[in-house]
Amino acid sequence: MRQTVADRGVHVTSLINNAGFGSFAPFTEADSGHLTAEIAVDVVAPVQLTAAFLPGMMSAGNGFIINLASVSAYLPSPRMAVYGAAKAFVLSFTESLWTELRGTGVTAFAVSPGATATEFTTGMGPDAQVLTAGRLRRPEDVVATALNHLDRRNPGPTVIDGRLNRLAVLSSRLMSRRRSALTMARVFDPGRLSASQPAR
């Protein structure tokens, strides 16, 4: 991969691992092939791309890597168990990279958005509308969060996009893991949307 890019005369100075997709269904009902592809895109690809291009950045003594994690990396994700686990991997992987890269001139950090107005839920089925039922951030907001963090004098390993998302993560840390999982099960329950509709 690295050689193919070099052969085309491209000098890589930065990498943004943004590609990803998820599924929304109880784990036992999800298609195993779809889940395998999800892991390949959300976990394997960022690792392979980072392995391909990070050595060149370190040799040059500058550059940056931004990995897209998710608020789901911090929270249990019923009906999105593999996606949440994949993003938890991305978060942990990036935090470790950040530590290893200190003093090299290369920056690495993870951006964790929550519900954002993109096509992420396309093809997930009608139940996935529960994921976009609240206030949505815009893609531009996420980009601004990432760039503002990059511009800091000493950016940390992670940044969460949006005040409400930061509060959600903070609140989850004050709960037991059991309580956090049960709370997220209610948040991701498609039935809560129909239950909130006024009777006719």
Active site (annotated) includes residue 83:
yes
Q: Is the separation of the CB atoms in 150 and 129 below 8 Å?
A: no
3-state helix, strand, coil in the chain (%, to 5): 55, 10, 35
Q: Is the separation of the CB atoms in 46 and 93 below 8 Å?
A: yes
Q: Is the separation of the CB atoms in 168 and 75 below 8 Å?
A: yes
- Which residue of the set 24, 53, 64, 83 is catalytic? 83
Q: pLDDT tens digit string along 37-72?
A: 999 999 999 999 999 999 999 999 999 999 999 999
Q: pLDDT tens digit string along 3-25?
A: 787 778 888 999 999 999 999 99
How many domains is the chain built from? Answer: 1
State the Cα–Cα distance between residues 146 and 165, nearest whole angstrom. 15
Q: Is the separation of the CB atoms in 75 and 184 below 8 Å?
A: yes
- Assigned domain for 107 exists: yes
Q: pLDDT tens digit string along 167-200?
A: 999 999 999 999 999 999 999 999 876 655 544 4
- Assigned domain for 199 exists: no
Q: Is the separation of the CB atoms in 21 and 86 below 8 Å?
A: no
- Assigned domain for 25 exists: yes
Find the domain containing 143 and state its range: 2-190
Whichever domain contains 170, its CATH number is 3.40.50.720
State the Cα–Cα distance between residues 169 and 175, nearest whole angstrom. 10
Residue at token pair 């093809």: 123
- Assigned domain for 196 exists: no
- Assigned domain for 150 exists: yes
**What is the per-residue pLDDT for 200?**
45
DSSP 82-143: HHHHHHHHHHHHHHHHHHHTTTTTEEEEEEE--SBSSSTTTTS-GGGGGGGSSPPBPHHHHH
